[in-house]
Every structure is written in structure tokens, then in C-alpha cells.
Chain A
Amino acid sequence: MSIASPLALLGRSVIAMQASVGRVAIFTADAVSHLFRPPFYPREFLQALLQIGWLSLPVVGLTALFTGGALALQIYAGGSRFQAESVVPSIVAIGMVRELGPVLGGLMVAARVASSIAAEIGTMKVTEQIDALTTLSTNPMKYLTLPRLLAATLSVPILVAVGDSIGVFGGYVVGVTRLGFNSATYLENTVSYLETWDVISGLVKGAAFGFIVALMGCYHGMNSDRGAQGVGRATKAAVVSASVLILAANFILTEAFFSA
């Protein structure tokens, strides 16, 4: 009994996890299949683009600005141990564009957007608005999920690109005003060591993270339990699962880019 119980618990957890993966896969396939089947809802897509992309800009921008500045200080502190202070501009740029820009941008969007999507759709579910959509001949997956998935997948790379630029600018401000770098040299070192692939790989990550954020928000919202507690649980699950999946996807994508 004492040995079997933990094993049984482990078994149940594995089965439950596999069932969850299966449900998310079916949900994803259903949502994406609507991409090729009319009717389409451009107005809902544009609204989602505004909510997910444009309105996330301040939080992503501020995160990138402070991260870029802190990164410059840390690299300078570490680099000075090897008389390698001159690498600050290039490492800040590469670090922001390849890793910190997409990951921190993705996590901030997960906190802001996955929670908001899950709460909105979860509330719609418990107040029968999703059922009402069906009775009004409107497929909820097509009307609610697909526009959000598309908007997040397209807008998060743009947010990442803007965040990268702001992060590099944050490093530049700290480098020039605090660490004594010459402005022209800092900019030259930033540009000369940065490759096109660095930028592209960061944007691909951004698209993947955007898809994950919207998918988790919609999935948990659509599967929300009844009542305020149910919506609360759905919101929490959306943020936690989106954040964990972003970090896991980041490792997988980095490994794939590293091997390529």
C-alpha cells in the first residue's frame, strides 16, 4: 500500500497529463482548421490585434528598457574580470535579440494577455454567451479563438522587434552615460556583431510564444468551470501553462537553431 500509492499517484498524473495534451491538440487542430473555412471575422481579428499587440506595447517596452540597461551593467561587471569590457554592446544586442527580448516579451504578454483572454472567454462561458453564439449560427472557435490566435501569432513578433530595439537602446543609454562608452563606438559594435539570423530566430520565437499565449488563454477560457472560482482557476491555469510552455518552447527552439 505504502509503495503502491505513490506509484498509483504517479500513474494517474501521467495519464491525466497525456489526456490534457490530447485535449489541447484537438482544440488546436479545431481552431486552426477554421483558418481555411469561411466565414471569417476581420473585425474581431483587428480588435484582437489592438488588444494583444498595441496595448501590450508599454509593458513590453518598459520590460525591455530595464532589461537592456541591467544587462549592460552585468556584462560590464563580468567582462571587466577578463578585460573584456568592450564586448558589452555586442553581447547586449545578441542577448536581447536572441533570448531576452522574445522570452521576457513572451512572458509579459502571457501575464497580460493569456489572463485577460481566459477571464473574458471563461466569463462568456459561465454566463451562457458561448451557447448564445452557437444558437446565433456563429461558431465560437471561429469567432473567438481563431482571431485571437492569429492576432497573437502576428503581433508578438512585432512586439519582440520593438522590445529588442528598446532593450538595445537601454543598454546604449547605460553604456554611454554610466560605463563611459563612446556613443559612436557603442553603436558600431552593436551593429557589426549582430547577424540577420539572430534577429530572425528571435522573431520566430516571438511568433511561437504569441501562438502559445493565445492558445492557452482560449483553451482554459473555453474549458472554464462554472462560477467565479471556475473563471479564477481558468485564468491562473492559462498564465501558468503559457509561461511554462514558453520556457519549454524557448529551449526547444534554441536547441533547433543551435543545431541548424
Chain B
Amino acid sequence: MIVLQDVHKSFGSKKVLQGINLEVPKGQSLVVIGGSGTGKSVLLKCVLGLVKQDQGTITVGGDILEPKTREAFLEKFGMLFQGGALFDSLPVWQNVAFRLLRGSLKRPKDEAKAIAIEKLRRVGLTAETADLFPAELSGGMQKRVSLARAICADPEVIFFDEPTTGLDPIMSGVINELIREIVTEMGATAITITHDMTSVRAIADQVAMLHDGKIRWIGPVGDIDTSGDAHLDQFIHGRADGPIEAVR
């Protein structure tokens, strides 16, 4: 279980997170929604240790995340980045098998490549893709490769940062389905941040809405249409009028 208690984070005078309390039970898929600039990515980066929170604690499986425990946490962790974040200098299969080619999970090169090709197949890419470089792939293919990299070491926790941004609706649907299937079959705990409501309905067990640095609403995905929360209603229906200020 991942637990965030009273997490605060500011950049200069800008208070981005103002007391986040959140629990993600093991095996659950939580989707965090919210407008652009509400701190969704900062929230993920705090859990990862890429950004240090000013106040509050983050625990995984009961252990407070500190530099040492975070290393152990990252060994069981996978992440799909918004832009893919594939390493340009490495061919696709080495991107996917990055974790298996070095460090504590190191395997022989042939075995690592075979696992990478299997994971590429799992996300709908052929073995021929393995020897291409990321620059030779389309945006949708890069997202799939990034997804294959995220699941390559069979992680227990997976983060998805805006998994469908920049993709056409059909490719977005394919990625959403893949994420749902993979999370279900692996039994992994997943946290996704997005503002794509189609993704929310496809991926989530639970939905949390972030607004003004706080969790505005949290509940099962089936309840989002009947929440009675004006902020959530405005967001999911994409209305310009409502309590959330829209700049025109």
C-alpha cells in the first residue's frame, strides 16, 4: 500500500501541494485527475524522490520512503513517462531491457533481449522493432516501447504520467486497454495522472481529483458522474463555467 500523509511542496512562493492525504491499496489502480499545473506530476515526483517534499511522509508497504528504502522501492517499480523518455542512444530492445542489462537484476544479454522482445510483443510490437532506434518510431510506438520498458522487470508498482497525451483517439484507446490489461494480469498497484476522461474510465478503480494543492474528491470510478461535487462535475464535463477558473 502507498500512503501519503500531509504532503506539502512549494516552489518559491508558489504552493503546489498543500497537505495531500492519499492511500492506494495494493493491486488497485488510482487515477489522479486535475487541471494543468495543479501539481499532479509533482505529486508523482515526490513519491519517486525526484522532488523532495517540504513536509509530510510517504510510505510504501509501511516503510517511510528515504534514500535507502527508495532504492529498494525503485527495484520493484516501473514508470511510463509522458514523452516516453526513451534513451536516444540505445536501440529499442536495450531501452526495454535497460534494468536487465545492469544492476542487481542483471541477466545475460541474450536472455535480456528475449525478455525485451516478449514484452514488446505484449504491447503489440513486432520483434523487428527491437533493433530500431527510438527516433525511427512514431509517437504511438514510442509510448508502447515505454510501456514495455515499464513492465519489463515485472514491477509491483507502476506509474503512468499522461499515458495518452499526444496520441490520436484510436491509439489512446489501444494504450488505455493495454494499461488496464497489464495492471490486471500483473496484479500491480498503479497510479496514473491524466486529464483524459476516456483514460480515467478505462484505467481507474479509484479516482482522486487534485485542485488547489489538495485532494478535492476521491472515490470509485463508478461514482464520478454522481459525485455532486461542482469542481469534479465541471472538470469531467469540460465546462468553462463553474467553480474552477478558466482563463480565456
- Provide 16 A-B residue pairs closer than 8 Å at the C-beta atoms, listed in order of the A residue: A123-B88, A128-B81, A128-B83, A129-B86, A129-B87, A129-B88, A131-B45, A131-B85, A132-B79, A132-B87, A134-B74, A135-B79, A136-B99, A137-B74, A138-B98, A138-B102
Chain A residues near B99 (CB, 8 Å)? 136-137
A: interface residue count bin: 10 to 19
Interface residue count on the B side (C-beta < 8 Å): 23
B82/A41 in contact, CB under 8 A: no
Chain B residue nearest to A39 (CB atoms) is B103
Q: Give the shortest distance, in Å, between B102 (CB) and chain A (any CB).
A: 7
Chain B contact surface mostly: mixed
B103 touches A134 (CB 8 A): no
A127 sits at the interface (CB 8 A): yes
- CB pair A127–B85 under 8 Å, yes or no, is yes
Q: Say whether A129 contacts B102, CB under 8 Å.
A: no
Q: Nearest Cβ distance between residue B90 and chain A, in whole angstroms?
A: 10
Does B246 touch A at the CB level, under 8 Å? Answer: no
Docked Cα-Cα span, A123 to B77, in Å, equals: 24
Find out whether the CB atom of B49 lies under 8 angstroms from the CB atom of A134: yes
Which of chain B's residues have a CB closer than 8 A to the CB of A41?
A: 102
Within B91-129, which residues are at the interface with A (CB < 8 Å)? 98-99, 102-104
Asked whether, in the complex, the Cβ of B102 is within 8 Å of the Cβ of A135, the reply is: no
Q: Once the chains bind, are A128 and B82 in contact (CB under 8 Å)?
A: yes
> Which residues in B have some Cβ–Cβ distance to A below 8 Å?
45, 48-50, 71, 74-75, 77-79, 81-83, 85-88, 98-99, 102-104, 149
Measured between beta carbons, the chain A residues less than 8 angstroms from B74 are 134-137
Expressed in whole angstroms, the minimum distance between the Cβ of A26 and any Cβ of chain B is 16
| A134 touching B81, Cβ below 8 Å | no
Residues in A whose Cβ lies below 8 Å from that of B87: 124, 129, 132
Contacts of B98 in A (CB 8 A): 136, 138
CB distance from A61 to the nearest CB of B (A): 26
Question: When the two chains form the complex, which single residue of A39, A129, A137, A138 contacts B85, counting CB atoms closer than 8 Å?
Answer: A129
Are A132 and B102 within 8 A (Cβ)? no
Name which residue of chain A comes closest to B95, CB basis.
Answer: A132
Question: Please, how many angstroms separate the alpha-carbon atoms of A134 and B103 in the complex?
Answer: 12
A118 to B77, CA, bound (A): 29
Known: A39-B102, A135-B48, A136-B99. A127 touches B83 (CB 8 A): yes
Beyond A136-B74, A136-B149, A138-B102, 5 additional pairs, beta carbon < 8 A: A128-B85, A131-B50, A134-B49, A134-B50, A136-B99
Contact A137 B75 (CB under 8 A): yes
| Neighbouring B residues of A124 by C-beta, 8 Å | 87
- Per-residue CB proximity of A97-137 to B under 8 Å, as 1/0? 00000000000000000000000000110011101101111
Q: Are A138 and B103 in contact (CB under 8 A)?
A: yes
Closest A residue to B51 by beta carbon equals A131
Smallest beta-carbon distance B186→chain A, Å:
17
- Is A137 within 8 A of B71, CB to CB? yes
Please, how many angstroms separate the alpha-carbon atoms of A128 and B78 in the complex?
A: 14
A132 touching B81, Cβ below 8 Å: yes
Residues 136-189 of A at the B interface (beta carbon under 8 Å): 136-138
With a CB–CB cut-off of 8 A, which chain B residues contact A123? 88
Which of chain A's residues has its CB closest to B71's CB? Answer: A137
